[in-house]
Amino acid sequence: MKRDIKLSGVGGQGILTIATVIGEAATAAGLYLKQAEVHGMSQRGGDVQSDLRLGTEPVCSDLIPLGQADLIISMEPMEALRYLPYLAPDGTVVTASRPLVNIPDYPDETALLAELDALPHVVRLDIEAVAREQGLPKSANMILLGMAAPFLSLLRPEQLQEAVGRVFARKGEAVVQANLDAFRLGLSHTYQVSK
């Protein structure tokens, strides 16, 4: 069994931290893992993306072929759409719904969200607003990871929570707790949407 995950966002949003947590959980679970990252102009708000390939059998390539991604996890809606050619026909998109307008010709937000909503399997949420409302402004990426957790298949949400604790442990208990709270918020949102 395998799971191919395309992660995308804009530099500084924490997409590579999501990849680190999933990788930590996969390693602890004894899964095979391959990862490739493209940082682009991440210091200046450029495209950041990562391919994560998890499996119960060895994974040969670290790059996801077109049309093979089981899941796209995106911190930014336009970046989610950018990688749709990689999505498998039955794949799922889990994305933030609030655009990060970092280019002058950014697409119309209404049209962008309509295109996302037209997909057969999509879960979206204004994670930045939820993070602020809950007093977790630096943990929006963990809300997104929580939203994606039910779609990872090879990893249970509990395994991801444990990985969140390990990844953030060196930053202290308050940071660990904030990120765990954010993860659980995202997880509860997805379960509400999926019902």
How far apart CA 54 and CA 152 sit, in angstroms, is 9
The CATH class of 2-194 is alpha beta
What residues contact 192, with CB distance under 8 A and at least 6 apart?
Answer: none
- Check residue 44 and give its pLDDT: 56
- Check residue 11 and give its pLDDT: 74
- Check residue 194 and give its pLDDT: 42
Residue 17: name the closest of 55, 73, 61 by CA: 73
- Domain boundaries along the sequence of the chain: 2-194
Residue 195, pLDDT > 50, answer: no
Are 9 and 81 a contacting pair, CB within 8 Å? no
Residue recorded with tokens 């090879």 = 154
Length of the chain: 195
- Check residue 39 and give its pLDDT: 57
Say if residue 134 is exposed, middle or buried (CB neighbours under 10 Å; 0-12, 13-18, 19+): middle
Query: What is the DSSP secondary structure assignment for residue 13, as one 8-state letter?
Result: S
How far apart CA 23 and CA 125 sit, in angstroms, is 24
The mean predicted confidence, pLDDT, of the chain is 90
Give the amino acid at 15.
I
pLDDT digits (tens, 9 = 90+) for 119-153: 999 999 999 999 999 999 899 999 999 999 999 99
How far apart CA 41 and CA 44 sit, in angstroms, is 5
| Chain mean position to CA 161 | 14
Element (H, E) at 93: strand 87-96
